[in-house]
Amino acid sequence: MPHTVDDFGLARGFCAAATACGLKASGAPDLALVVADAPCSAAGTFTTNRVKAAPVLHDQEVLERNPGGIRAVVANAGCANACTGERGMADARAMAALTAQALGCAADQVLVLSTGVIGVPLDMEKIARGIAAAGASVAPEGAPLAARAIMTTDTRPKVAGVEVWLGGGEVRIRGFAKGAGMIHPDMATMLAVVTTDAAVAPLLLQWALREAVGRSFNRVSVDGDMSTNDTVLLLASGAAGARVGDADLPAFTAALTEACTSLAKQIARDGEGATRLVEITVTGARDKREAHQVADSIARSPLVKSAVHGGDPNWGRVLAAAGCGGAELDPGKLALWFGAPGQAVQVVAEGRRAAYEEQAAAALLRRDPVAVLLDLGLGSAEATVWTCDLSAEYVAINAHYTT
């Protein structure tokens, strides 16, 4: 798995490029292309927010019509193209058409991603110049710049890669993502493009993606707010020569989940103003759904996240957050630990304060990552969710996001 963006490359059969077209006031790269050598299978998951950005609606339409013939993804940062009405839809389709013209393919072979400020129309003159420039420079080594170009308030690019042997050959999975705020997906994600050189039929690819997203991107929260633009796309080129059928699907899905989990954890670690990654594990639930519900409720709590930031082992806030998540629990059976296995301090037993040293518990909340384990004592199901601490810097970033 790549450790830095500089050694990151897409799966075989894909190239990339990026350029600065002027959408970001900083002058940093803000438009990216991911291009397949030939038409490929594609799958996507999208925000369930009822307010959906134009690129989300465009991509859902394209994948419904043409999931087996995708050639490219065009992405811009600096403008979300959300809440922009009919003009926004026309601009999203124009981005696809301009990309198709630059690459020599059809417009319904192009998927579109946008991120940035909501309610502002795209500057299509800048977009057109950017697509033309990026289209003329696509290359295998263009992936690191593409990963940087989609960043908004991110402090670093997020990349991941996994190899798995299928059908007697090595299959590569390579992806990049952006996300630092407005993060709380529900059957969707932030913005991510994942590529694989396996040959996978669209229906199987969609199934694998939903399974992977459910165990990775849907287990991360920064601030409890779901975006209008959340999208993850998975493209399969088939360049490795290995075909994924029903027998190989579990192994492929496991590898895809590993890559997506890495990206999800990087997003949580880079949450706006965050200083520490927080891993919340709930065990002893009646089923996985309820375990996820409880872990999710804890991860959303500003009080829990603030306590972590201050290294304050205020375990009552964890139990309060767990109890309002809607899942079944018995307060008298709850047990809570701070810290990773082998060095954890138990702070709650049978729903009451356990015997522990305050300073030892506080020290564990100042580590990175911070581990929180809550056992419900009702069953054998468990789930893990990733979030981050909540600092004053988060407020500063979002108090002046457009000004």
Give catalytic residue positions: 189
Residue type, 301: S
Is residue 81 classed exposed, middle or buried when 0-12, 13-18 and 19+ CB atoms within 10 A define those classes? buried
8 Å CB contact between 114 and 55: yes
Query: Distance (Å, rounded) from C-alpha 32 to C-alpha 146?
Result: 5
Q: Going along 350-389, which residue ranges are E strands? A: 352-353, 370-375, 381-388
Query: Which residues does residue 92 pair with via DSSP β-bridges, in sequence order?
Result: none
> Tokens in use for 332?
């008298």
> Tokens in use for 285?
């639930």
Beta strand pairing status for 243-244 and 231-236?
unpaired
Q: Compute φ and ψ for 262, nearest 5 degrees.
A: -60, -45
Beta strand pairing status for 352-353 and 243-244?
unpaired
